Amino acid sequence: MRGGRPLPLSLRVPLLTVALMVLVGIIASQQVLTTLRNVQNERIRELAQLQIEALSVALGPLVLRKNVWEVYDTLDRATGETHVQRLVFTAVADENGNILAATDPRRAPLDSPIRALARDAQNLETLSIPDQGTDIRLLSDLVYQERKVGQILIEMDVSDLLAARGKAARLLLIGNAVATGFLALLGYFGMRRMLRPITLLVRHMRNSGERPEPIPQTDMPRGDTEMTRLFRSYNSMVSSIEAKAEADKRLANRERFVSLGRLSASLAHEINNPLGGLLNAADTIKTYADRPEVVRESAELLTRGLGHMRDVARATLDQNRLDRSGAVLVVEDFDDLHLLIRPEVSRRSQDLDWRINADQKALSHLAAAPVRQIVLNLLLNATEASGQGGKVGLRVSVLGGSLHIEVSDSGPGLSKVAAARLLGNGPASSEGGVGLRVVHDTTCELQGVIRLNRTDGMTVVTIELPLKPGQRGDKC
Amino acid sequence: MISRRSILMAAAAIIGFPARRVGAMEVFRLGLTPVFLDNDARVVDQLREAFADTLGIPVELEQRRTYEEVTGLLLEGSVDAAWLCGYPYLQHRKSLELMAVPVWNGRPLYQSYLITGPDNTATTLADLRGSTHAFSDPDSNSGYLVTASDLARMRERPDSFFKRTIFTFGHRNVVRAVGDGLVQSGSVDGYVWEALTRTEPDLTKRTKVISKSEWLGFPPFCTRADRAGEPAIRAMRLALLDMGKTAQGKAALDLLQLDRMAAAQPSLYDGIAKRMRELENVF
């Protein structure tokens, strides 16, 4: 994973523009300097060729006769009459390479070999100005009447050309830096301006948290530009998301009613079961009204059955009343849940493992209604998933400042759709387990955490609900 | 400051000073060589005009590169007179006659100087063995004969004694060649070296004199012996001898750093003749 926060698009694009401009500036400068270097090289070659040709014409017959003084005098006069001291040194040798004369005789003594001075000398065809140094050296044949009669070594001062090259490079550097900087600023602000709608779009998307908010009509770009169309599409998308969210909400409410429906069915079954016994007891009383022991026994049976029905009715009333009362969670709430789920468990001949290990003090940090809703929904789904003769378990404990609620079942495990409904934040599908989205949303409201595990053939859904407000965070 | 142009103008004044008409001669031709006086086209033009003004007839200055060429012009009659060196005068003594000789520092004499670069450690001619040497002209007394005859006394020849010898055909050029380091030593006219010390001190400063010859006869103005009696030649001789008596002529002599012109006898050049004999006898 890369460190640091990536730069926003509104900075990256202008900065990329600046970088490209700098790159173009560098390439353009390099091209100009290369052209200048080539022009200078061509000029110095032309100049050197002219010098060599002029010296060959003037010195040819003198070199042929090996007239030392005339060669020297000609070189000396030529040097003295030159206004621009481009040619700083000239040496002339005979055909054997021995110096006849030079503009600086002490440097090139008479009869000394010219090759001693010709180190690093270039030839006319490839003569070029190096990047460093002030002089260039050229060794050429001295041709007279189409015959090589000697050699000429010339040294030319190119410091002015190098200075011009350096000056051009500096001016280019400064000019390009200023121009590039100016253009880069223009580009930066231009790009910022062009990307302003994108920035606005991003801001609206960020400001809304999970729910994007539409862009007001006053902020819409003028005309039918790409941005205008993009903004309209965005607003349409926002509307769609809002509609979807509303649909999810309605679906969640429906799930709540579905849960209640299933619960009601269980309750009806719970009431229906003892109802037959009660009617039999009533018939027995009527039949054996004269037998006090039978009446008494039947009356007790009636009392127990009606008591059970009263408890079931009370638990059901509590389940609905607590939604509005805001009462805190108590241990008895789990007894109620046990009472409510037991008919479903019994109907499916399931094995219920019920362990409540939480004290009242810890439970009192939580509201009763949402916790009961979470546990009831999970238990209903667990009984559904476990099937006939399966295993269903509830384990409640307090660990590390959180209430841990584990609902396990021996079913085949949650499908991907059901797991997504339970764990995900995305749009809820209408398929999957009943009330799982209610569990998810309610847990999120309580800033809790949901975990789904599958071990030893058991599916375990763990809900961790922080007990203290300070520990609660945005867990979902 | 005295320039070479001034010296040439002074020479022109010397030659052209006598404002005499020279009879039937239509043009007077004077031979010059840059061996003694350096060449300058503008000065030659001024000389020509000055001579024409003083002699009353057009004057042509015939310049040649060497003494040999100028002497040849004189002997064949292409020029009426010439400023030569004592050496070529003696070489053609039977055919030539002295017209006048410059007087320098009170005497019609000068010396030959042996010069080297200022950093050269040589103090005598013998120390210059194996070095490079510049002569002015093979027919120059001070610029060749003196050194060659000195070497002859040492049973040496210039070509073998020196590593290389060059001829510059000009005393000033000898000073340039030595001063610029083209050669290590040179044989030069002492009068020219001294005159250059005053007019171009930066040039002679780059040389030093390591030996001087004995005093020898100054380079004379000569004419052909068989023409010495011609009016124009006589007029030129008188003009030369009298030039120190007028302000214009005196100014010209001052520019040349000469005192005056004097009549000369052939015996003035006995010293040069002696050296010629020594050179001939050895080789």
For residues B238 and B193, membership in a common domain is answered with: no
Of A78-87, A194-203, B148-157, B258-267, the range with the lowest mean pLDDT is A78-87
Q: Of B156 and B16, which is predicted with more confidence? A: B156
Does one domain contain both A401 and A270? yes
Which residue has tokens 């070189």? Answer: A75
| Nearest CB to A106 within list B173, B177, B181 | B181
Q: Are residues B143 and B172 in the same domain?
A: yes
User: What is the separation of C-alpha A2 from the centre of its chain, rounded to a whole number of angstroms?
Assistant: 9
Instruction: Kindly give, in sequence order, each residue whose CB lies less than 8 Å from that of residue A71, ignoring residues fewer than 6 positions away.
Output: A59, A62, A63, A92, A100, A101
Closest to B46 (Cα-Cα) out of B9, B73, B82, B84: B9
The pLDDT value recorded for residue A391 is 93
Across the range B243-256, mean pLDDT stands at 72
Cβ partners under 8 Å of residue B137, min gap 6 = B33, B35, B66, B67, B68, B85, B143, B144, B167, B169, B170
Contacts of A166 (CB under 8 A, 6+ apart): none
Q: How many residues does chain B have?
A: 283
Where in B58-119 does DSSP place strands (E)?
59-63, 81-83, 96-103, 109-110, 112-116
Asked if residue A268 and residue A166 are part of one domain, the reply reads no
Q: Which of A181, A197, A222 is the last residue of a domain?
A: A181
Query: Taking CB atoms and an 8 Å limit, are B183 and A110 in contact across chains?
Result: yes
Q: How far apart are CA B266 and CA A232, in angstroms?
A: 127
Strands A449-455 and A458-466: antiparallel
**Per-residue tokens: A370:** 């949402």
Kindly report the CATH number assigned to the domain that includes residue A423: 3.30.565.10
- The per-residue pLDDT string of chain A (476 residues; one tens digit each, 9 = 90 and over) reads 444 567 777 677 778 877 887 888 888 888 888 888 888 888 888 888 888 888 888 899 999 989 999 999 999 888 766 555 788 899 999 999 999 999 999 999 999 999 988 888 888 888 888 877 788 889 999 998 888 999 999 998 888 888 888 888 888 888 878 887 888 788 778 877 877 777 788 777 776 555 677 888 887 777 767 778 888 888 888 888 888 878 877 877 776 667 667 667 666 766 776 677 788 888 888 888 888 888 888 888 888 878 877 777 777 766 666 565 678 888 888 888 888 888 788 888 999 999 999 888 888 888 888 888 889 888 888 988 888 999 999 999 998 888 999 999 999 988 888 888 788 766 555 555 557 877 888 888 888 999 999 888 899 999 999 987 655 555 55
Whether residue A204 lies inside any domain: the answer is: no
Q: Which domain holds residue B33?
A: 4-104+218-266
CATH code assigned at A128? 3.30.450.20
Query: Count of A–B CB contacts within 8 Å?
Result: 33
Cα–Cα distance between A375 and A333 in angstroms, integer?
10
pTM recorded for the entire structure: 0.60
Quote the tokens at residue A113.
Answer: 């070999």
**Tokens 């060196």 label which residue?**
B85
Residue with token string 């001829």:
B167
Query: Are A289 and A426 members of one domain?
Result: yes
We report the CATH number of the domain holding residue B234 as: 3.40.190.10
In a domain, A81, yes or no: yes
Cα separation of A54 and A293, whole Å?
A: 154
Which residue, B150, B179, B213, sits at the end of a domain? B213
Last residue of a domain, one of A181, A208, A232: A181
- Distance (Å, whole) CA A298 – CA A305: 10
Same domain assignment for residues B151 and B75: no
**Is A151 among the domain residues?**
yes
Select from B240, B67, B245 the least CA-distant residue to B139: B67
pLDDT of residue A376: 86
Q: Radius of gyration (Cα) for chain B, nearest Å?
A: 18
Note whether residue B80 is domain-resident.
yes
Cross-chain residue pair B183–A106, CB shorter than 8 Å:
no
Residue that finishes a domain, picked among A181, A205, A234:
A181
Tell me the residue range of the domain where A267 lies.
246-471
Same domain, A145 and A276: no
Please check whether residue A214 touches B, CB under 8 A.
no
B49 & B175 share domain: no
Neighbours of B111 (CB within 10 A): 19
Buried b (16+ CB within 10 A) or exposed e, A47-70: ebeebbeebbebbbebbbeebbbb
Contact of B220 with B93, CB cutoff 8 Å:
no
Q: Write the pLDDT tens digit of every residue in B96-146.
A: 999 999 999 999 999 999 999 999 999 999 999 999 999 999 999 999 999
pLDDT at position B92, please?
96
**φ, ψ for residue B27 (rounded to 5)?**
-150, 140
Taking the C-alpha atoms of B247, B253, B257 and B261 in order, what is their torsion angle to the nearest 10 degrees? -130
A153 with A302, same domain? no
Using an 8 Å CB-CB cutoff, list chain A residues near B167: 69
Do both A163 and A26 map to the same domain?
yes
Shortest distance between the Cα of B166 and any Cα of chain A, in A, equals: 7
Same domain, A137 and A269: no
Partner-chain contact A69 B163, CB within 8 Å? no
Q: How confident is the model at residue B38 (pLDDT cuts 50, 70, 90)?
A: low
Single-letter code of the amino acid located at A400 = G
Residue B134: inside a domain: yes
SS3 A237: helix
Which chain A residues touch B168 with a CB distance below 8 Å? Answer: 69, 73
Does B277 fall in a domain? no
Residues 113-172 of B with CB under 8 A from A: 132, 134, 163-164, 166-169
Q: Which residue has the higher pLDDT, B32 or A326?
A: B32
More confident site: A362 or B82: B82
Cα separation, A109 vs B184, in Å, equals 10
Minimal C-alpha gap between B253 and chain A (Å): 29
